A = this chain, B = another copy of it.
Amino acid sequence: MRVTIKDIAAICGVSAGTVDRALNNRSGISKKTRNKVLKVAEEMNYQPDYTARSLVMGRTMTLGIVLFDLYNRSFAQLMNAIERKARELGYFVYITLTDKNPENERVCIEYLINRKVDGIILFTVNEGEKFNAYLSKFHTPIVTIFNYISRDWEYVGIHERQAMKEAVDYIISNGYKRFIYISPPLAYEGKSNIYTQKERFIGFMEGIREGSASEPLVIKVPNYLEKLEDYSFEPAKKTAIVCSTDLYALEVINFLKEKDIPIPESAGVMGFDDIDMLKYISPRLTTVKYPIAEIGEKAVESIVNKIEKDAYISISLLGYEIIKGESI
Protein backbone atom coordinates (compact mmCIF):
# COMPACT_ATOMS: atom_id res chain seq x y z
CA MET A 1 0.00 0.00 0.00
CA ARG A 2 0.90 3.60 -0.41
CA VAL A 3 2.51 5.52 2.39
CA THR A 4 0.05 7.85 4.13
CA ILE A 5 0.54 10.60 6.66
CA LYS A 6 -0.63 8.16 9.31
CA ASP A 7 2.27 5.87 8.56
CA ILE A 8 4.68 8.74 8.85
CA ALA A 9 3.00 9.90 12.03
CA ALA A 10 3.34 6.46 13.60
CA ILE A 11 7.00 6.18 12.72
CA CYS A 12 7.83 9.66 13.92
CA GLY A 13 5.76 9.21 17.06
CA VAL A 14 3.69 12.30 16.32
CA SER A 15 0.13 12.93 15.21
CA ALA A 16 -1.22 13.21 11.67
CA GLY A 17 -1.86 16.89 12.21
CA THR A 18 1.80 17.47 12.93
CA VAL A 19 2.85 15.60 9.83
CA ASP A 20 0.50 17.79 7.85
CA ARG A 21 2.04 20.88 9.38
CA ALA A 22 5.50 19.73 8.40
CA LEU A 23 4.66 18.58 4.92
CA ASN A 24 2.73 21.67 3.96
CA ASN A 25 4.95 24.23 5.54
CA ARG A 26 2.37 25.38 8.02
CA SER A 27 3.16 27.29 11.18
CA GLY A 28 3.07 26.03 14.73
CA ILE A 29 5.68 23.33 14.56
CA SER A 30 9.24 23.19 15.80
CA LYS A 31 12.11 23.07 13.37
CA LYS A 32 13.24 19.82 14.86
CA THR A 33 9.97 17.96 14.40
CA ARG A 34 9.53 19.39 10.92
CA ASN A 35 12.92 18.16 9.82
CA LYS A 36 12.36 14.75 11.29
CA VAL A 37 9.01 14.37 9.55
CA LEU A 38 10.40 15.63 6.27
CA LYS A 39 13.26 13.20 6.47
CA VAL A 40 11.05 10.21 7.12
CA ALA A 41 8.64 11.25 4.39
CA GLU A 42 11.53 11.46 1.99
CA GLU A 43 12.89 8.09 3.04
CA MET A 44 9.54 6.41 2.67
CA ASN A 45 8.98 8.10 -0.66
CA TYR A 46 5.74 9.60 0.55
CA GLN A 47 3.46 10.89 -2.18
CA PRO A 48 0.45 12.94 -1.14
CA ASP A 49 -2.96 11.74 -2.23
CA TYR A 50 -4.52 14.58 -4.13
CA THR A 51 -7.94 12.99 -4.28
CA ALA A 52 -8.15 13.16 -0.50
CA ARG A 53 -6.82 16.68 -0.44
CA SER A 54 -9.25 17.72 -3.13
CA LEU A 55 -12.14 16.31 -1.18
CA VAL A 56 -11.39 18.22 1.95
CA MET A 57 -10.18 21.40 0.28
CA GLY A 58 -12.91 21.47 -2.30
CA ARG A 59 -10.45 22.21 -5.07
CA THR A 60 -8.39 20.12 -7.40
CA MET A 61 -5.74 22.40 -8.91
CA THR A 62 -7.05 21.32 -12.25
CA LEU A 63 -8.33 23.27 -15.24
CA GLY A 64 -10.74 21.73 -17.70
CA ILE A 65 -10.33 22.53 -21.38
CA VAL A 66 -13.21 22.10 -23.79
CA LEU A 67 -12.32 22.11 -27.48
CA PHE A 68 -14.12 20.51 -30.36
CA ASP A 69 -11.05 18.73 -31.66
CA LEU A 70 -7.34 19.11 -32.16
CA TYR A 71 -7.30 19.09 -35.93
CA ASN A 72 -8.48 22.58 -36.62
CA ARG A 73 -6.47 25.70 -36.85
CA SER A 74 -3.67 25.89 -34.43
CA PHE A 75 -5.17 23.95 -31.58
CA ALA A 76 -2.07 21.96 -31.00
CA GLN A 77 -0.15 25.15 -30.37
CA LEU A 78 -2.99 26.43 -28.25
CA MET A 79 -2.98 23.31 -26.09
CA ASN A 80 0.76 23.43 -25.75
CA ALA A 81 0.58 26.97 -24.49
CA ILE A 82 -2.27 26.21 -22.12
CA GLU A 83 -0.62 23.16 -20.67
CA ARG A 84 2.69 24.89 -20.16
CA LYS A 85 1.25 27.98 -18.54
CA ALA A 86 -1.10 25.94 -16.38
CA ARG A 87 1.64 23.77 -15.01
CA GLU A 88 3.83 26.81 -14.46
CA LEU A 89 1.07 28.09 -12.20
CA GLY A 90 0.67 24.75 -10.47
CA TYR A 91 -2.40 23.51 -12.31
CA PHE A 92 -3.10 20.41 -14.27
CA VAL A 93 -5.14 20.17 -17.41
CA TYR A 94 -8.08 17.96 -18.27
CA ILE A 95 -8.76 18.02 -21.97
CA THR A 96 -12.12 17.12 -23.44
CA LEU A 97 -13.07 17.10 -27.10
CA THR A 98 -16.62 17.64 -28.21
CA ASP A 99 -16.58 16.90 -31.96
CA LYS A 100 -18.57 20.10 -32.48
CA ASN A 101 -21.56 18.40 -30.97
CA PRO A 102 -23.44 20.84 -28.70
CA GLU A 103 -24.97 18.13 -26.57
CA ASN A 104 -21.68 16.34 -26.25
CA GLU A 105 -20.20 19.62 -25.13
CA ARG A 106 -22.63 19.83 -22.24
CA VAL A 107 -21.72 16.30 -21.24
CA CYS A 108 -18.07 17.33 -21.22
CA ILE A 109 -18.75 20.39 -19.12
CA GLU A 110 -20.69 18.39 -16.56
CA TYR A 111 -17.97 15.78 -16.38
CA LEU A 112 -15.48 18.51 -15.66
CA ILE A 113 -17.70 20.13 -13.07
CA ASN A 114 -18.27 16.83 -11.31
CA ARG A 115 -14.58 16.23 -11.20
CA LYS A 116 -14.43 19.56 -9.45
CA VAL A 117 -12.15 21.36 -11.83
CA ASP A 118 -11.33 24.78 -10.47
CA GLY A 119 -12.05 26.46 -13.78
CA ILE A 120 -12.93 25.81 -17.38
CA ILE A 121 -11.48 27.22 -20.58
CA LEU A 122 -14.23 26.89 -23.10
CA PHE A 123 -14.22 27.03 -26.87
CA THR A 124 -17.92 26.49 -27.18
CA VAL A 125 -20.14 25.44 -30.05
CA ASN A 126 -23.22 26.25 -27.98
CA GLU A 127 -24.82 29.65 -27.81
CA GLY A 128 -27.82 31.62 -26.63
CA GLU A 129 -29.67 32.64 -23.51
CA LYS A 130 -30.45 29.14 -22.41
CA PHE A 131 -26.89 27.96 -22.63
CA ASN A 132 -25.76 31.07 -20.82
CA ALA A 133 -28.14 30.31 -17.95
CA TYR A 134 -26.99 26.71 -18.00
CA LEU A 135 -23.38 27.75 -17.47
CA SER A 136 -24.32 30.13 -14.67
CA LYS A 137 -25.73 27.26 -12.64
CA PHE A 138 -22.30 25.83 -12.03
CA HIS A 139 -20.68 28.67 -10.13
CA THR A 140 -17.36 27.67 -11.65
CA PRO A 141 -14.99 30.18 -13.24
CA ILE A 142 -15.18 30.01 -17.01
CA VAL A 143 -13.12 31.77 -19.63
CA THR A 144 -14.33 31.56 -23.21
CA ILE A 145 -11.96 31.67 -26.14
CA PHE A 146 -12.79 32.29 -29.81
CA ASN A 147 -16.55 31.78 -29.76
CA TYR A 148 -18.12 34.50 -27.69
CA ILE A 149 -21.16 33.74 -25.55
CA SER A 150 -22.08 36.84 -23.58
CA ARG A 151 -20.79 39.53 -21.30
CA ASP A 152 -21.26 37.10 -18.42
CA TRP A 153 -18.10 35.26 -19.38
CA GLU A 154 -14.59 36.45 -19.67
CA TYR A 155 -13.49 36.33 -23.28
CA VAL A 156 -10.05 36.04 -24.84
CA GLY A 157 -9.65 36.52 -28.55
CA ILE A 158 -8.71 38.87 -31.32
CA HIS A 159 -10.66 41.49 -33.22
CA GLU A 160 -11.70 39.07 -35.95
CA ARG A 161 -13.96 41.51 -37.70
CA GLN A 162 -11.42 44.26 -38.01
CA ALA A 163 -8.72 41.81 -39.03
CA MET A 164 -10.78 40.51 -41.91
CA LYS A 165 -11.78 44.00 -42.97
CA GLU A 166 -8.15 45.00 -43.08
CA ALA A 167 -7.38 41.92 -45.12
CA VAL A 168 -9.97 43.01 -47.67
CA ASP A 169 -8.52 46.51 -47.74
CA TYR A 170 -5.17 44.98 -48.50
CA ILE A 171 -6.60 42.82 -51.28
CA ILE A 172 -8.36 45.78 -52.86
CA SER A 173 -5.19 47.84 -52.70
CA ASN A 174 -3.64 45.08 -54.78
CA GLY A 175 -6.08 45.72 -57.59
CA TYR A 176 -8.66 42.99 -57.08
CA LYS A 177 -12.17 43.89 -58.20
CA ARG A 178 -14.14 40.69 -57.81
CA PHE A 179 -14.51 38.63 -54.67
CA ILE A 180 -15.46 35.16 -53.62
CA TYR A 181 -15.88 34.38 -49.92
CA ILE A 182 -15.66 30.83 -48.66
CA SER A 183 -16.87 29.86 -45.19
CA PRO A 184 -18.77 26.58 -44.91
CA PRO A 185 -19.35 27.00 -41.16
CA LEU A 186 -21.72 29.87 -41.90
CA ALA A 187 -24.27 27.24 -42.89
CA TYR A 188 -24.59 26.36 -39.21
CA GLU A 189 -26.10 29.72 -38.40
CA GLY A 190 -28.64 29.26 -35.64
CA LYS A 191 -27.60 25.68 -34.97
CA SER A 192 -24.18 26.16 -33.51
CA ASN A 193 -22.04 28.95 -32.16
CA ILE A 194 -20.16 30.35 -35.13
CA TYR A 195 -19.35 33.72 -33.62
CA THR A 196 -15.81 33.78 -34.91
CA GLN A 197 -16.84 32.87 -38.43
CA LYS A 198 -19.64 35.41 -38.40
CA GLU A 199 -17.34 38.16 -37.23
CA ARG A 200 -14.92 37.40 -40.01
CA PHE A 201 -17.73 37.50 -42.53
CA ILE A 202 -19.05 40.81 -41.22
CA GLY A 203 -15.55 42.23 -41.45
CA PHE A 204 -15.32 40.96 -44.99
CA MET A 205 -18.58 42.64 -46.01
CA GLU A 206 -17.56 45.88 -44.36
CA GLY A 207 -14.34 45.86 -46.33
CA ILE A 208 -16.22 45.14 -49.56
CA ARG A 209 -18.64 48.04 -49.02
CA GLU A 210 -16.09 50.58 -47.95
CA GLY A 211 -13.87 49.58 -50.84
CA SER A 212 -16.82 49.83 -53.23
CA ALA A 213 -16.07 46.40 -54.60
CA SER A 214 -18.77 44.63 -56.54
CA GLU A 215 -21.16 42.20 -54.86
CA PRO A 216 -19.16 39.13 -53.83
CA LEU A 217 -20.03 35.50 -54.38
CA VAL A 218 -20.49 33.99 -50.93
CA ILE A 219 -20.11 30.23 -50.60
CA LYS A 220 -21.34 28.55 -47.42
CA VAL A 221 -21.56 24.92 -48.43
CA PRO A 222 -19.29 22.03 -47.46
CA ASN A 223 -18.59 21.13 -51.09
CA TYR A 224 -17.37 24.63 -51.81
CA LEU A 225 -14.84 23.55 -54.44
CA GLU A 226 -17.64 22.38 -56.70
CA LYS A 227 -19.08 25.87 -56.63
CA LEU A 228 -15.84 27.16 -58.10
CA GLU A 229 -16.07 24.83 -61.08
CA ASP A 230 -18.27 27.11 -63.17
CA TYR A 231 -16.56 30.31 -62.26
CA SER A 232 -14.44 31.87 -64.99
CA PHE A 233 -11.11 32.99 -63.64
CA GLU A 234 -9.31 35.38 -65.96
CA PRO A 235 -6.36 37.70 -65.48
CA ALA A 236 -8.45 40.52 -66.94
CA LYS A 237 -10.92 40.43 -64.07
CA LYS A 238 -8.77 39.57 -61.10
CA THR A 239 -10.74 37.63 -58.56
CA ALA A 240 -9.79 37.27 -54.93
CA ILE A 241 -10.93 34.13 -53.13
CA VAL A 242 -11.13 34.95 -49.45
CA CYS A 243 -11.28 31.93 -47.18
CA SER A 244 -12.32 32.08 -43.56
CA THR A 245 -9.56 29.70 -42.52
CA ASP A 246 -6.24 28.60 -44.00
CA LEU A 247 -7.40 25.04 -44.49
CA TYR A 248 -10.05 26.10 -46.97
CA ALA A 249 -7.47 28.28 -48.67
CA LEU A 250 -5.14 25.32 -49.07
CA GLU A 251 -7.88 23.28 -50.66
CA VAL A 252 -8.60 26.17 -52.99
CA ILE A 253 -4.94 26.44 -53.94
CA ASN A 254 -4.85 22.74 -54.74
CA PHE A 255 -7.99 23.19 -56.81
CA LEU A 256 -6.56 26.12 -58.75
CA LYS A 257 -3.29 24.32 -59.40
CA GLU A 258 -5.19 21.36 -60.78
CA LYS A 259 -7.09 23.61 -63.14
CA ASP A 260 -3.91 25.42 -64.10
CA ILE A 261 -5.34 28.70 -63.01
CA PRO A 262 -2.38 30.94 -62.16
CA ILE A 263 -2.09 32.32 -58.65
CA PRO A 264 -2.28 35.24 -58.08
CA GLU A 265 -2.63 36.41 -61.69
CA SER A 266 -6.07 34.97 -62.38
CA ALA A 267 -7.14 34.17 -58.86
CA GLY A 268 -5.79 35.49 -55.60
CA VAL A 269 -6.20 33.47 -52.41
CA MET A 270 -6.44 34.80 -48.88
CA GLY A 271 -6.39 32.66 -45.76
CA PHE A 272 -6.84 33.27 -42.06
CA ASP A 273 -4.98 31.74 -39.07
CA ASP A 274 -1.43 31.45 -40.36
CA ILE A 275 -1.10 27.80 -39.43
CA ASP A 276 2.51 26.76 -39.09
CA MET A 277 2.42 24.39 -42.04
CA LEU A 278 2.18 27.30 -44.45
CA LYS A 279 5.91 27.69 -44.59
CA TYR A 280 6.16 24.48 -46.57
CA ILE A 281 3.54 25.45 -49.11
CA SER A 282 4.00 27.47 -52.24
CA PRO A 283 2.85 29.95 -53.23
CA ARG A 284 3.19 31.37 -49.75
CA LEU A 285 -0.35 32.02 -48.65
CA THR A 286 -1.35 35.56 -47.77
CA THR A 287 -3.15 35.29 -44.46
CA VAL A 288 -3.94 36.78 -41.06
CA LYS A 289 -1.72 35.89 -38.19
CA TYR A 290 -2.60 36.22 -34.52
CA PRO A 291 -0.89 35.13 -31.33
CA ILE A 292 -2.50 31.76 -30.71
CA ALA A 293 -0.16 30.81 -27.88
CA GLU A 294 -0.80 34.11 -26.17
CA ILE A 295 -4.53 33.46 -26.28
CA GLY A 296 -3.96 30.24 -24.39
CA GLU A 297 -1.63 31.81 -21.89
CA LYS A 298 -3.87 34.78 -21.20
CA ALA A 299 -6.86 32.52 -20.76
CA VAL A 300 -4.99 30.48 -18.17
CA GLU A 301 -3.68 33.51 -16.33
CA SER A 302 -7.09 35.07 -16.23
CA ILE A 303 -8.87 32.03 -14.92
CA VAL A 304 -6.22 31.24 -12.34
CA ASN A 305 -6.47 34.79 -11.07
CA LYS A 306 -10.21 34.34 -10.80
CA ILE A 307 -9.75 31.09 -8.92
CA GLU A 308 -7.17 32.41 -6.52
CA LYS A 309 -8.11 36.05 -6.18
CA ASP A 310 -11.71 35.99 -7.30
CA ALA A 311 -11.12 38.36 -10.20
CA TYR A 312 -10.56 37.64 -13.85
CA ILE A 313 -7.71 39.44 -15.55
CA SER A 314 -9.61 41.26 -18.20
CA ILE A 315 -7.90 40.87 -21.54
CA SER A 316 -8.39 43.38 -24.31
CA LEU A 317 -8.57 41.80 -27.73
CA LEU A 318 -5.15 40.71 -28.88
CA GLY A 319 -3.36 41.98 -31.95
CA TYR A 320 -3.14 40.51 -35.44
CA GLU A 321 -1.10 41.00 -38.54
CA ILE A 322 -1.60 40.58 -42.28
CA ILE A 323 1.04 38.22 -43.59
CA LYS A 324 1.80 39.33 -47.10
CA GLY A 325 2.48 36.20 -49.11
CA GLU A 326 2.51 35.43 -52.79
CA SER A 327 -1.08 34.36 -53.21
CA ILE A 328 -2.55 37.86 -53.46
Q: Which residues of A contact B (CB under 8 A)?
A: 45, 47-52, 54-55, 60, 62, 69-71, 75-77, 79-80, 83-84, 87, 92-97, 99, 110-111, 113-116, 137, 250-251, 253-254, 257, 276-277, 279-282
Instruction: Pick 28 A–B contacts, CB within 8 A, sort by A.
Output: A47-B113, A48-B114, A49-B55, A49-B116, A50-B116, A51-B115, A52-B55, A55-B55, A70-B70, A70-B77, A70-B80, A75-B76, A83-B96, A84-B97, A87-B96, A92-B94, A92-B96, A93-B94, A93-B95, A93-B96, A94-B95, A95-B95, A250-B280, A251-B280, A254-B279, A257-B282, A277-B280, A281-B281
A20 to chain B, nearest CB (A): 16
Nearest Cβ on chain B to A65's Cβ, whole angstroms: 9
Query: 9 tightest CB-CB pairs across the interface, nearest first?
Result: A70-B76, A250-B280, A51-B54, A277-B277, A51-B55, A76-B76, A83-B97, A50-B115, A95-B95
- Rounded to whole angstroms, the CA-CA distance of A97 and B93 in the bound complex is 10
Least CB separation from A95: chain B residue? B95
Nearest CB in chain B to that of A87: its residue:
B96
Q: Kindly state the separation between the CA atoms of A54 and B47 in the bound complex, as whole angstroms.
A: 16
Contacting residue for A114 out of B50, B79, B282, CB 8 A: B50
**Cα–Cα distance between A142 and B45 once the two chains are bound (Å):** 20
Chain B residues with CB under 8 Å of A279's CB are: 254
Inter-chain contact B94/A94, CB cutoff 8 Å: yes
Contacts of A84 in B (CB 8 A): 97, 99
Neighbour of A51 across the interface among B51, B76, B77, B111, CB < 8 A: B51
- Shortest A75–chain B CB gap in Å is 7
Residue numbers in B under 8 Å from A62 (CB-CB): 115
With a cutoff of 8 Å between Cβ atoms, the chain B residues found around residue A75 in the complex are 76
In the complex with contacts A75-B76, A253-B280, A280-B277, A95-B70 CB distance below 8 A: no
* Closest-CB distance, A159 to chain B (whole angstroms): 27
The answer to whether B83 and A79 have CB atoms under 8 Å apart is no
**Closest B-chain residue to A257, C-beta based?**
B282
B52 touches A79 (CB 8 A): no
Give the docked Cα–Cα distance between A71 and B254 (Å).
24
A281 to B282, CA, bound (A): 8
Q: With A51-B54, A92-B96 given, name 12 new contacts (CB 8 A).
A: A47-B110, A47-B114, A49-B114, A50-B116, A71-B76, A76-B76, A79-B95, A83-B95, A93-B96, A250-B280, A251-B280, A254-B279
Residue of B whose beta carbon sits closest to that of A48: B114
Chain B residues with CB under 8 Å of A70's CB are 70, 76-77, 79-80
- What's the least CB distance linking A141 to chain B, in Å? 16
| Contact residues in B for A114 (Cβ distance below 8 Å) | 47-50
Within the complex, the shortest CB–CB distance from A70 to chain B, in Å, comes to 4
- With A45-B137, A92-B94, A95-B83 known to touch, is A60 a contact of B71 (CB < 8 Å)? no
